[in-house]
Amino acid sequence: MDRFGHYGWPFFEERHGKLAREVEQWAGENLAHAHGEDADAICRRLVQDLGCAGYLRHCVADKPDVRSIALVREVLAYHAGLADFAFVMQGLGSGPIVLAGSEALKKQYLHKAATGDAIAAFALSEPEAGSDVQAMTTTARRQGESWLLNGTKTWISNGGIADFYVVFAKIEEGISAFVVDAKEVDASERIDIVAPHPMAVLRLENAKGQLLGEPGQGFKLAMRNLDIFRTTVAAAALGFARRALAEALERARSRKIFGQALSEFQMTQAKLADMATQIEAGALLTYRSAWARDVKAHRVTREAAMAKMFATEAAQLIIDAAVQICGGLGVMRGHPVERLYREVRALRIYEGATEVQKLIIARELLRK
């Protein structure tokens, strides 16, 4: 089955459709437990399940294939936001090790991350340094073979359940990346957000870390990592949006008001048409970006920014329209569109807010 109707697009090879169909079936059979109050326990289990099923190796891969990561995210997000979250955080948190780690670091962390035996996290943001990464104040100083890190990170996804963190800190040469084991950090202050997932403030007091890549190259490394994963945020937004459209279609067909189905009113049809068109446009941008990264093998700063901005903004509008079509049911706690309404919001903020994506696109346009 090609639920989303795009596996045959020229951006994909046969293996992509095969993977997406397989994940689709797996998700249908395995994600009943992926919703609920205890996000920590759910995510721990999801990481293990996704590792056992062999899917984590797509985002913890020597040569990441962005189309595969994006398709898996789209399918998982359609079924359960936490499954998408658990999947991608393994990639985001271990991506810098894949890109710049020594053989020893790779050996120490990557296999476990790919099998789901170790949970990864990516710690860049700080209380006073979110969009403005250069404002970071966390520092590292050398002590023998290792480094000691001091500072505070915040909004750290998987904070509190991660086994290791890739942490960015300043040294004389500039921002640098370090791998820090969970036992070195205080992640006891947890953050509760609108669609809860494991998240914490990270306090580092002489936390021992191993340098990752070249000194002073941490910012570039973070951006190279985001170059891979930013496109896939758009894919997650697509998964959410497609689910919202499916729920809206179902409700519009079955709900009778004023003597006819809600779907027979032209105002409803106009909403559905807009929703479907925005999804297709978002999918084209998303998979164009993924294909360019995989096949053309060049940086996709502009393409990824356009995909992320468009698909996440569109998903917000699409999900809002689905809530409207569902009426009271749409805001009832636990209804799929109510969940989507909460889950989609953060996507317009993290990995570069929409305003930051606009700056990136304009900078690329104005570049001589």
Ligand X SMILES: Cc1cc2nc3c(=O)[nH]c(=O)nc-3n(C[C@H](O)[C@H](O)[C@H](O)COP(=O)(O)OP(=O)(O)OC[C@H]3O[C@@H](n4cnc5c(N)ncnc54)[C@H](O)[C@@H]3O)c2cc1C
Residues annotated as part of the active site: 351
Residue 280 as a binder of ligand X (CB under 6 A): the answer is: no
Residue 252 as a binder of ligand X (CB under 6 A): the answer is: no
Judged by beta carbon, residue 285 or residue 347, the one nearer ligand X is: 347
Q: How far is the CB of 240 from ligand X (least distance, A)?
A: 14
Judged by beta carbon, residue 273 or residue 362, the one nearer ligand X is: 362
- Tokens 């710049």, residue located: 100
Q: Each residue of 51-71: b (16+ CB within 10 Å) or e?
A: beeebbbbbbbeebbbbbbbb
- List 246, 261, 329, 356, residue binding ligand X (CB under 6 A): 356
Instruction: Considering only residues 15 through 74, tell me which ones interact with ligand X, judged by CB under 6 A.
Output: none
- List 61, 276, 317, 353, residue binding ligand X (CB under 6 A): 353
- On the 0-12 / 13-18 / 19+ scale of CB atoms within 10 A, 207 is buried
Q: How far is the CB of 81 from ligand X (least distance, A)?
A: 11
Judged by beta carbon, residue 249 or residue 359, the one nearer ligand X is: 359
Judged by beta carbon, residue 142 or residue 350, the one nearer ligand X is: 350
Instruction: Considering only residues 182 through 241, tell me which ones interact with ligand X, judged by CB under 6 A.
Output: 193
Side chain identity, residue 246:
A
Q: Each residue of 78-105: b (16+ CB within 10 Å) or e?
A: bbbbbbbbbbbbbbbbbbbbbbbbeeeb
- List 97, 326, 346, 360, residue binding ligand X (CB under 6 A): 346
- Tokens 């889950």, residue located: 343
Instruction: Considering only residues 113 through 142, tell me which ones interact with ligand X, judged by CB under 6 A.
Output: 122-125, 130-132
- List 42, 50, 156, 323, residue binding ligand X (CB under 6 A): 156
**Beta-carbon count within 10 A of 319 CB:** 29
**Beta-carbon count within 10 A of 202 CB:** 29
Q: How far is the CB of 17 from ligand X (least distance, A)?
A: 31
Q: How far is the CB of 157 from ligand X (least distance, A)?
A: 3
- List 155, 287, 291, 341, residue binding ligand X (CB under 6 A): 155
Judged by beta carbon, residue 275 or residue 344, the one nearer ligand X is: 344
Judged by beta carbon, residue 131 or residue 137, the one nearer ligand X is: 131
Indicate the DSSP class of residue 294.
Answer: I
Nearest residue to the partner ligand X, using Cβ: 130
Residue 359 as a binder of ligand X (CB under 6 A): the answer is: yes
Report how far Cα 26 is from the mean position of its chain's Cα atoms. Answer: 20
d(CA 357, CA 310): 10
d(CA 242, CA 75): 10
Judged by beta carbon, residue 193 or residue 332, the one nearer ligand X is: 193
- First CA to last CA across the chain, in angstroms? 46
Q: How far is the CB of 284 from ligand X (least distance, A)?
A: 25
d(CA 191, CA 189): 7
- Tokens 């789209």, residue located: 74
For 104, the token pair is: 């020893």
Q: What backbone torsions phi and psi does residue 145 show, to the nearest 5 degrees?
A: -80, -20
- List 350, 362, 363, 364, residue binding ligand X (CB under 6 A): 350
The vertex-214 CA angle with 227 and 87, nearest 5°, equals: 40
User: DSSP assignment of 230-248, as one string?
Assistant: HHHHHHHHHHHHHHHHHHH
Q: How far is the CB of 348 from ligand X (least distance, A)?
A: 8
Q: How far is the CB of 180 from ligand X (least distance, A)?
A: 13
Instruction: Considering only residues 305 through 344, tell me which ones interact with ligand X, judged by CB under 6 A.
Output: none
Which residues are at the interface with ligand X (CB under 6 A)? 122-125, 130-132, 155-157, 193, 346, 349-350, 353, 355-356, 359
